Amino acid sequence: ALKIADEVVAVERATGLSFSADEGARFAQRDKLNPIVAGAVAARDYADLASAFDAAGICWGTRAAGWPTRNCATAKRGCGSR
């Protein structure tokens, strides 16, 4: 949905890691991945992101007053309701 696959693959190659094989590697490399995600999110407006995330079935949320508000494509994904 964010179209950052090429950048993520570049981090995998540079570090010799596979993020799909090792979830912990994504956490360990968050200092490299977070700016990629942040840049992709900042480049799009809220409505565009919401539409793209919902279309992809991504469970996502916003934070208002410190409380998460979940927005999910389907309630059965287990992440709340609209």
> Which of 9-13, 24-28, 47-51, 70-74 has the weakest average pLDDT?
70-74
Please give the pLDDT value at position 31: 97
Which residue has better confidence, 56 or 77? 56
**How many of the other CB atoms lie within 10 Å of CB of 18?**
10
pLDDT per position as a tens digit, 26-58: 999 999 999 999 999 999 998 999 899 999 988
Long-range contacts of 35-40 (CB under 8 A, 24+ apart): 36/4, 36/7, 36/8, 36/11, 37/2, 37/4, 40/2, 40/3, 40/4
Kindly tell me if the per-residue pLDDT of 14 is higher than 70.
Answer: yes
